[in-house]
Structure 1
Amino acid sequence: MELHHGNLFWPTTVEKARSFPELTTTVTCDVLIIGGGMSGSVMARMLADYHIDTVLIEKDTIASGSTSANTGLLQFSNDAMLIDLIDRFGKEKAVYFYKLCLKAIDELDKYNATLKEKTDFKRAESLYYASNEHHAKKLKKEYDALIEHGFNADYLDSTAIENLYSFKAPAGIYTKAEAEVNPYKFALALASHAADLGVNIFEHTEVLSHQFHNKELIFQTEKGEIRTKHVIYATGYGTQEFAKTKGALLERTYTIATEPIDQFPGWHNQSLIWETDRPYYYLRTTPDRRILIGGLDANLNKEEKLEQQGQQLLNKLHELFPSIETSIAFEWSAIFGSTKDGLPYIGKHPKYDGVYFMLGYGGNGTVYSMLGAEILKDLILYGHHPAMDITRLKR
């Protein structure tokens, strides 16, 4: 499965990434992580803190899959609104899950502070605006629910938005607990730090077969073998090639990065921006003063011409910010996974002991990676996490 296509931006921001050897022998460990993207790197870094004998393998190179195409918006709000989750799970579980997402951003911030490499992690503000009048009513209910349950947010009416931004919208929710990051740098730095702390990492190492026994899981690669007590599949959207997950939907999303810009008129605090439409547009700026805008999600089997989609994204950017003159520097498409209920798949395999999945499907992939690492760490060490029923595979 080709996870991305086109001219990616983030890999150009790293001159030389740390490399790791290919597995060429037999190794044993307590936990094997399959997949060296954001989820695998966060998981490895967390297990290192608990001195768990861990091996991470990646069939290509660290962060070269979906992570390199990620736009790096870190938000606690989900593709599924809090009020929708309350209807589905009840107040207690829904609010708890949103609080976990909020905490995950803080935990990512803490991890970033431990890294030697600069990852461009930065706390940010976010505007979630109503795409039309009908959505504005629901957005007001969402704001009321956030306030009722202790989340910090401001409600912006159309006048307030027009005073802060160069575009019009009937309403919006403005929050200040989010963050942005260079996901490629971040995953590379996390993996590197995990390796320094004792995690064994192998690149260009793909699982070819496996055997699940009662007390040992055995994985064969081209040149080696891994024997482990636990395995975590952090294989992202590629998981659907070998383990279909009921309720998962793969689509194709498109993104452009512009040439650097001197000023951002009509863009309050260069906040993160997204909207209530589905599919939705999402925007952010970068440390070197570019704009990233993504969207136009489409059926996986319906791949539009990249140049046409890129131009459509640029047109949307100019519609929102008519005073900003810029052009496309990078454009790419990537496979994007979502779920019917808007929540990730994180938890134990329903049949095999010691087998776990960490699939951060949805618009909050990096946040879900942090949240998922907490859940799986607790499941492995203590056999329980309060959120395990919310994110379980069979739901």
Structure 2
Amino acid sequence: MEMHNGNLYWPITESEQIVLQKPIQKEQYDVLVIGAGMSGTLTAYTLYKDGIDFAVLDKGKVGAGSTAANTGLIQYSNDIMLHELADQIGEVDAVRFYKLCREAVDALDEVAETVDAKDVYIRRDSLCFASEEADVSKLKREYEMLTKHGFDAEWLDQTALQDRFPFDKPAALITKGDAEVNPLTLSRQVVRHLSMNDVPIFEETDVTEVVPDGDGWLVLTPETTFKAKHVIFATGYGPAPLLDTHRIELNRSYAIATNPIKDFKDWDGQALIWETKRPYLYLRTTVDGRIIAGGLDEEKPETPHSEALIHNRAERIRQEVAALFPMYDLTVEYAWAALFGESIDHLPFIGEHPDRKNLFYLLGYGGNGTVYSMLGSKILSDLVRGIDNSDARLVRLDRTR
């Protein structure tokens, strides 16, 4: 399955490839992590921090899958707003989940500091504007729910918004404490950090089958067989072996990176920007002065091969960005399409297989995949060590909602 097509931006920001020496395979590991994209590397980071014996396997080179196409907006807010999630699962659980996401953003800050990636992990505010007048009441309800539960948020009416941004929208909500990141650099810096600390990472090791072995698992590849007590699939939007994924939808989206802009004085705080309509436009800035923007989601489970189609969607996104910031002379320098997964209830699937002991999954479906990966790594680290985690129920694989 192709995760992306087109001309990706993040690879050009990496001046060198990671060269990993193939590790010596042990007879058995406590944990095997399958996948070395963002989900797998953050899981590996947490397992290493918690002193667990493990190895990482990836069918390709690290960061070559969905991570390279990730647009790198880090937000504790979700595709489903807090008040909507409260209607769905109850206010107590919804607030707890949002707080877990906020804690995950802070944890990512710590990861970036540890692996020397602070220059590509920059804290930002987020601005969500009402796409039309009819959305104002929904956005105001979200503001009230957030502030009720201690989230730092600010309400902007039409006049206040115009004072700070160059576009005219009915209202907007600002949330504090989010971030932008170069996802490829962050994930590769984690790999470099782990490699320097002798964590075994097996690249170009394709898992063909996973079979039970007593209370553990045998992980088969074309060249060899690995043995482990626990297996964690952190495979991004790729297949999740042995798991029924009928509550997951694969769609595709489009993204661009523009030419560098001289300055962003008209863009207050270089906040991450998104909107209330669905599918939504979203945009952010980069450390080299570009704008990354995306949207135009389509319900098609494959990436397009037509360059003309990708360029058409890219131009439409550019025009939407230009409508918000008409003072910028924007051209599209990078354009791509990528797959993304969504769960029906807008929450990730994280935890142990309901029928197969010691088989775990970290599937961060939705627009907050990096945040979900961080919070999921902590849940899974507890579970594989036999530590009860009271938050695991919120994202368990066998939930019925």
Q: TM-score range by the shorter chain?
A: over 0.9
Partner Cα separation in structure 2 for residue 156 and residue 247 of structure 1: 37
Alignment-derived partner of residue 169 in structure 2: 169
Does structure 2 retain, via aligned residues, the 8 Å contact 1:32–1:228?
A: yes
- Answering whether residue 283 of structure 2 is matched by residue 283 of structure 1, we say yes
- Answering whether residue 376 of structure 2 is matched by residue 339 of structure 1, we say no
Measure how far apart 1:270 and its partner are. 1.0
For the aligned residue pairs, the C-alpha RMSD in angstroms reads 1.6
- Answering whether residue 151 of structure 2 is matched by residue 147 of structure 1, we say no
SS at match of 1:239: coil
Amino acid aligned to 2:361? F
Residue correspondence of structure 1 range 28-67 to structure 2 within 5 A: 28-67=28-67
Does structure 2 retain, via aligned residues, the 8 Å contact 1:131–1:277?
A: yes
Deviation readout 1:216-268 (Å, 9 max, x if unpaired): 20011121211000000000111258744132111101000001110235311
Alignment-derived partner of residue 356 in structure 2: 352
Bigger drift between 142-151 and 302-311 goes to 302-311
Does structure 2 retain, via aligned residues, the 8 Å contact 1:166–1:265?
A: no
The number of aligned residues is 395
Amino acid aligned to 1:269? G
Alignment-derived partner of residue 85 in structure 1: 85
Partner Cα separation in structure 2 for residue 377 and residue 133 of structure 1: 45
Partner Cα separation in structure 2 for residue 14 and residue 116 of structure 1: 14
Unaligned runs of 5+ in 2: none
SS at match of 2:108: helix
Does structure 1 retain, via aligned residues, the 8 Å contact 2:250–2:301?
A: no
- Answering whether residue 378 of structure 2 is matched by residue 374 of structure 1, we say yes
Bigger drift between 237-246 and 120-129 goes to 237-246
Partner Cα separation in structure 1 for residue 318 and residue 345 of structure 2: 30
Runs of 4+ more than 6 Å apart: none
Partner Cα separation in structure 1 for residue 131 and residue 43 of structure 2: 36
Alignment-derived partner of residue 16 in structure 1: 16
Alignment-derived partner of residue 254 in structure 1: 254
Structure 1 residues 244 and 20 mapped into 2: Cα distance closer, same or farther (>3 Å)?
Answer: farther
- Answering whether residue 168 of structure 2 is matched by residue 190 of structure 1, we say no
Amino acid aligned to 1:124? R
Structure 1 residues 301 and 205 mapped into 2: Cα distance closer, same or farther (>3 Å)?
Answer: closer
Amino acid aligned to 1:173? L
- Answering whether residue 363 of structure 2 is matched by residue 363 of structure 1, we say no
Deviation readout 1:356-387 (Å, 9 max, x if unpaired): 00001111111111000011111111342122
Amino acid aligned to 1:145? M
Does structure 2 retain, via aligned residues, the 8 Å contact 1:245–1:393?
A: no
Alignment-derived partner of residue 104 in structure 1: 104
Deviation readout 1:143-162 (Å, 9 max, x if unpaired): 00001111110011111111
Does structure 2 retain, via aligned residues, the 8 Å contact 1:101–1:371?
A: yes
SS at match of 1:204: coil
SS at match of 1:238: coil
| Aligned counterpart in structure 2 of residue 306 of structure 1, from 310, 320, 326 | 310
Alignment-derived partner of residue 322 in structure 1: 326
Bigger drift between 98-107 and 216-225 goes to 216-225
Structure 1 residues 117 and 128 mapped into 2: Cα distance closer, same or farther (>3 Å)?
Answer: closer
Measure how far apart 1:118 and its partner are. 5.6
Deviation readout 1:195-224 (Å, 9 max, x if unpaired): 223321010001012211332200111212
Amino acid aligned to 1:351? D
Bigger drift between 17-26 and 43-52 goes to 17-26
Amino acid aligned to 1:331? A
Measure how far apart 1:117 and its partner are. 5.0
Partner Cα separation in structure 1 for residue 333 and residue 118 of structure 2: 23
Deviation readout 1:314-357 (Å, 9 max, x if unpaired): 11111111111120110000001111111111111011110000
Alignment-derived partner of residue 156 in structure 1: 156
SS at match of 1:155: strand
Measure how far apart 1:282 and its partner are. 0.6
Does structure 2 retain, via aligned residues, the 8 Å contact 1:339–1:362?
A: yes
Partner Cα separation in structure 1 for residue 140 and residue 379 of structure 2: 32
| Aligned counterpart in structure 2 of residue 390 of structure 1, from 367, 391, 394 | 394
Percent identity between the two aligned chains = 42
Bigger drift between 193-202 and 351-360 goes to 193-202
SS at match of 1:382: coil
Amino acid aligned to 2:235? T
Bigger drift between 36-45 and 83-92 goes to 83-92
Bigger drift between 222-231 and 238-247 goes to 238-247
Bigger drift between 238-247 and 262-271 goes to 238-247
Bigger drift between 355-364 and 110-119 goes to 110-119
Q: TM-score, normalised by structure 1?
A: 0.96
Partner Cα separation in structure 2 for residue 242 and residue 22 of structure 1: 28
Alignment-derived partner of residue 6 in structure 1: 6
